[in-house]
Structure 1
Amino acid sequence: MIKLWRHLLIILIKENKPIYRQGLRHMSGELNQPLKRYLPGIDGLRAISVLAVIAYHLDLKWAQGGLLGVGVFFVLSGYLITDQLLMEWKVNHYVSIWNFWMRRFRRLLPAMLCMLILVAMWLLTTDPERLLSLKGDFISSIFYVNNWYLIFHEVSYFESYGPASPIGHLWSLSIEEQFYLVWPILVLIGLKFAPRRGKLVLLILGLAVLSALAMALMYVPGTDPSRVYYGTDTRAFAILIGAALAVMWPSWKLGEKVKPIVRTSLDVIGAAGLLILLILINRTNEYDESLYQFGFLFLSIVTVVNIAVLVHPASRLGNILGCPPLTWLGKRSYSLYIWHYPVIICMKPEATIEGLGMVQILWRLVIIVVLSVLSYEFIEEPIRRGQFREKWRTVWHHDRFKPFIGLSLTLLVFLVAQSWITNAAQNQPESVQPVSIQNNVQNENPEKTDHDQSAYFDEKHPASNDLSNSNGQKDDFVSPSSTGKGITLIGDSITMDVDSHIKELLPGIVVDGKVGRQMSRAQEVVDELRAKGELGDRIIIELGSNGVFNKGKLRTLLDTLHDKQLYLVTTRVPRPWQDTVNEALKDVANDYPNVNIIDWYAASEDKSELFTQDGVHLTPEGARYYASQLVEHLMQN
């Protein structure tokens, strides 16, 4: 491996000579530049990255680390933009910052505006209230400050209930556009005061180190990482590392003629880097603490190694990743990124317990690709090349395009109608008819009690029959005459759902629930209950539905309760942190003999009727079943 790296250094030092193929050219509206060499391998890497992001947002288990694709895009942007600026400086001895900005805006803004307009029209048709609630998201996205808007409004990327924002992915474009706005100026300053390549690289890497340290120091393990995930300051190191590579390894200075051992070294190192990247996408979880403690930095280093190999004309790996399917996707990666999230979110406005089926996934992918192709062919490329009017004049007057336009409009109308019907159905009160029947029964027979309703519940869910004796009556432990004295239930809004039912089964139990409560507040609640003399000898902790937690802090809490009998309740939430929370609860419980697990996740499997539309909170029937599960485990332990 040392020999491989030595050969790469030889390339950097000796083979890094300018190659100006076919001389210089003058492009309309642009400065004289060396004829750019197409980099098919980079498009292949773009394709892999955007596919990873799409798979992540589709909640595909094999791409649980698909969010890393955004980090790859950051490194790519840093490299390609800096490479372009340095090439312009080399040829013309100056950089036209205004022209650079205009090229970037023409490339990025039109497609995004088109997407925002279409999403706004969709929401206006299907859910006007939701559109009003997203006003700040739309405005901040247009001005490329969406990431800071989300930070200041404490909007979590990972831990949110209700319908997600269909434009929630635009935070990353804000970071990139902020970079495009500032970086040309900083590059010019750097070239003036640090003309030597080595000094400039050190300056850029110094800034990158500060940014990586900011992420590591600001992140609090076991808490929502959205602040460091969104921040320009805490994500800049990825872009800066790519920029540093552009200074050391400019694509326009790399020659094809290299020794066979160098070519082999490039391919071996590139293949190893690509394999590591794929493993990270498959194995990494957004709640892995190591990810924010230099894990993203490691990703950036792996990516920059891949880029160094793929941009070299002698690399065979670049030709492999430059195969037609990947380059086709790579060229449209921006379009795919822009359109994929609105399609996924607008077609799944409410959370569901079950994941998407294969047919649903394929249907969404078809729509994403169609919208991306339309955006790329009729908006992005024509505007970028200054041919927008000519393109649309041709489209409007050419017969072969008219059926395609009609089909697209028909598809749009169909999707809007489908979404409107779905939302209308979801907004109908689900329990109107059952409540009406129940009220009629109670009016006809005033002596009918809640005890009779529980019999209906037990019939629906035989699992709760374990709490009944052969005569159909609740045994002494769960009957209203039983006592809940000495038992404390601490939880979040789910605890509030079951409050009346658990008190019915265990009179005297102390229940302390609060909407949005995190595990990090458990110690505070325990201390308050202990001070009031309301902390029992048997404590049930139902926390984790609202996000991940620090296992170290949970262990500290359990250490202070070593003389108590404790029960940790697993969670079922259709959110990415569900498995992480449940694994953490079981892992910690294994280390404490006085701690038991109440596995609500297992008990509620395939029982979607227990949950409301958000897939988290409980229906009245679900609340009774939940309470019965708690009592059952208390009885057994």
Structure 2
Amino acid sequence: MKKNRRIEEIDVLRAAALIMICLYHWFTYKGMYVGVIIFFALSGYLFTSSLLSRDFSCFNVIKRRMSKIYPALLTVILVSTIVLIIMNGGLEEKYKNSAFFSVIGLNNIHQIISGISYFDSYNIILPLTHIWALSFQIQMYVFFPFILKGLKKFKLKDELIGIIFFGISVLSALLMGYKYYKGADISRIYYGTDTRAFTFFVGAAVAMFYNKREISKESEKIKVLLAGMSGIFLSVIFALTVDYKNPLGYYGLLYFISVLSAFSAVLFTKIKLRKLQIPFLSGMKKVLSLLGRREYHYYLWQYPLMIFMREIFKWSKVGFLSQFILEILILIVISEISYFIFEKKNLKVPNYAMPGIIIMLLLFAPLYKNKDLEEMKTVQAQIKEETVKEIEKETVTETEEKTEKTDEKKEEKKSEEEKQKTENIDDRNILFIGDSVLEMTKPELEKKYPNAIIDVKIGRQFSELAGLLTEFKNSGKLGKTVVIALGTNGPILDEDAKKAMAILEGHDVYFVNSVVARPWEKRVNREIANIAKNYGNVKIIDWYSYAKGEKEYFYKDGVHPKPAAAKKYVNLVYSAVSKNK
């Protein structure tokens, strides 16, 4: 590969990877996060190829890489820090730690230690979560030159070094699969340098085999062509069908995509492809190539911009499409300015100026404590404590009822039933299934529905509903009336709705729609409306129309209701489910 020669197709691959990552961040859609696999594989291949093209000094290589990475990175951290200080009047401790570890290239390690989830971040503004990937690459750029230089000192052939790198990649991939099998937290697997190294080392291994070789045989060209194009095709299929919870990804599919992505790089750097003269495709390729050249700047800015825009609009009824268009326009402007300043003009930032400013802000900015979040945690802890007490009480009560069924007990029960009737209490065995939003209303629900089964779980997805309903049906606890409050944590898929409704045939079903400041809010509520339209036994409890935009109802996340609003929520449920009982 000639020095300083840009290959348009490689830039197109970068652009495709960037688009996938952005789509995942914006819409949490399926396997779009596979874009980061393409990034890492390309980095491993291209970085290794650049090292092999000359005799290199490890420290000079690292210095050059860091001089390209840090100016724009530090700018994003500085701007994010200032924006948060303006918004909150200070910085949360978690953000301070996140920013500091982003500066020193250990963001991913920090997120593992602190237990911050990439997939569940409602309660705190963390605009630097995406820097984990850049921290991983920084670690590779720092340590890999020494590894390669050390192996070269033994005068090993490139092919043998390639085999060693493949061996390292296999060990890393096996570790990923093992940790998933053992039930490790997904974020631990997702962020880990050890469980992610396979992608970079696969790219490096392929570079060791192909860097100094010319592919002249037609049979080999065909093999590389098939592998490279398969990498592109499989990445698209994965992105559209495999979400982050799918075991296939952790049991080898991500590794397979890494290998094929590396061969995509070989294809475009080693084989001269005949260009198709189709105006539309040529124009699209040109646009994607330009985007690929700027992918670093777009990647840096897209996530904090999304987080801040979400915060600004979370109380608004402005449609997501309008928000999204505005966000894209701002992203283009900011990223192009960043590209112009740091690459076109090659602005040199004094070595210690910007890091010094950031560290000073992190040290001396007022510590912001999210009182809403603390209150919410307290409420959730109280609810869990009460739940444990209730379970213990029920166990004792069941034992007593088996041994003592006296007339006195019957009289007490009769008296309690009469009391319930006067207090508008519904004593039916209704089944409630929900996520953390319903959990916040549980104390009020229990007052209105003392005999109900209330099954709630933080982070619950709609895709889990059919399995839960089957369990309740098999245990004889699936009552005539079922209330479902799901949709906070992701979209509702049509196939999941059909599975659930097949089980609920003949039951009275109520769906509570969602208020959630996320891209899927409208989609979730539209799907619930479609379910009600298609099934005669379904009614909607319209929490969205009742509560959307009512800032005082919610904690700062704009999702979970405060105690006073929890009463309103339950009253709304009661008016729909129990007014004509």
- Give me the TM-score of the superposition, normalised by structure 2: 0.70
Residue in structure 1 matched with residue 411 of structure 2 by the alignment: none
- Within 5 Å, give how 1:592-631 maps onto structure 2: 598-601=510-513, 602=528, 603-604=540-541, 607-610=544-547, 612=554, 614-618=557-561, 620=564, 623-626=567-570, 629=573
User: Partners in 2 of 1:549 and 1:585 — Cα distance?
Assistant: 8
Measured in 2, the distance between the counterparts of 1:371 and 1:342 equals 12
Give 1:532-571 correspondences, 5 Å limit. 539-543=453-457, 545-548=458-461, 558=471, 562-565=475-478, 570-571=484-485
Larger radius of gyration: 1
Report the equivalent of 1:579. Answer: 492
Measure the CA separation in 2 of the matches of 1:343 and 1:35: 35
User: Could you say which residue in structure 2 is the equivalent of 1:46?
Assistant: 14
**Alpha-carbon offset, residue 562 of structure 1:** 1.3
Deviations 1:240-293 (A, max 9, x none): 11111111122x6436x665x766665555444323222222333233333233
Any unmatched runs of 5+ in structure 2? 350-371, 373-418, 514-527, 529-539, 549-553
Check whether the contact 1:223–1:550 (CA below 8 A) recurs between aligned residues: no
Contact kept? 2:37, 2:254, Cα under 8 Å: yes
The Cα of 1:548 is off from its aligned counterpart by 4.9
Aligned to 1:56: 24
Name the CA shift for 1:106/1:571 in 2 (closer, same or farther; >3 Å). Answer: farther
| 1:142-541 pair list within 5 angstroms | 142-193=103-154, 195-219=156-180, 225-250=186-211, 253-254=213-214, 259=218, 267=225, 269-316=227-274, 323-349=285-311, 351=314, 357-383=320-346, 388=348, 480=423, 482=425, 484=427, 493-499=436-442, 501-506=444-449, 508-509=450-451, 539-541=453-455
Q: Deviations over 1:528-581 (max 9, x none)?
A: xxxxxxxxxx633233x4245996996699389714336875444454x4537x
Aligned to 1:123: 84
Q: Check whether the contact 1:80–1:246 (CA below 8 A) recurs between aligned residues.
A: yes
Matched residues, percent identical? 25
Identify if the C-alpha distance between structure 1 residues 573 and 216 changes in structure 2 by more than 3 Å, giving closer, same or farther: same
CA distance in 2, matches of 1:125, 1:68: 35
Change in CA separation of 1:328 and 1:491 when aligned onto 2, cut-off 3 Å: closer
In 1, the alpha carbon distance for the partners of 2:441 and 2:132 equals 38
Question: Quick one: structure 1 residues 193 and 584, their matched pair in 2 at CA, closer, same or farther if it must change by over 3 Å?
Answer: farther
Instruction: Quote the Cα distance in structure 2 between the aligned partners of 1:242 and 1:595.
Output: 55
Q: Conserved in 2, the CA contact under 8 Å of 1:75 and 1:241?
A: yes
Q: What's the CA shift for 1:232? A: 0.7
SS of 2:130's equivalent in the other structure is: helix
Worse-superposed segment, 124-133 or 105-114:
124-133
Q: d(CA) in 2 for partners of 1:583 and 1:478?
A: 40
Q: What letter matches 1:337 in structure 2?
A: Y
**Structure 1: how far apart are the matches of 2:508 and 2:146?**
60
Question: 2-side partners of 1:226 and 1:614: how far apart?
Answer: 21
**Deviation for aligned residue 1:45:** 0.3
Corresponding pairs, count: 476
Please report how far the alpha carbon of residue 39 of structure 1 lies from its aligned counterpart in structure 2 after TM superposition. Answer: 1.9
371-380 or 271-280, which deviates more: 271-280
**Closer, same or farther in 2 for the Cα pair 1:277/1:497, shift >3 Å?**
closer
Going from structure 1 to structure 2, the CA distance change for 1:382 and 1:99 (only over 3 Å counts) comes to farther
Equivalent residue, structure 2, for 1:430: none
Counterpart amino acid of residue 314 in structure 1: K
Rounded to whole Å, the distance in 2 between the matches of 1:615 and 1:586 is: 29
Q: Which residue of structure 2 lines up, in the alignment, with residue 77 of structure 1?
A: 43
Partner of 2:100: 139
Task: Kindly provide the amino acid, as one letter, of the partner of residue 363 in structure 1.
Answer: L
TM-score calculated relative to the size of structure 1: 0.64
Distance 2:127 2:119 in 1: 14
Aligned counterpart, 1:519: none
AA aligned to 1:161 is: Y
Question: 3-state DSSP class of the match of 2:171?
Answer: helix
* RMSD over aligned Cα atoms: 4.1
Instruction: Please name the residue that 2:57 is paired with.
Output: 96
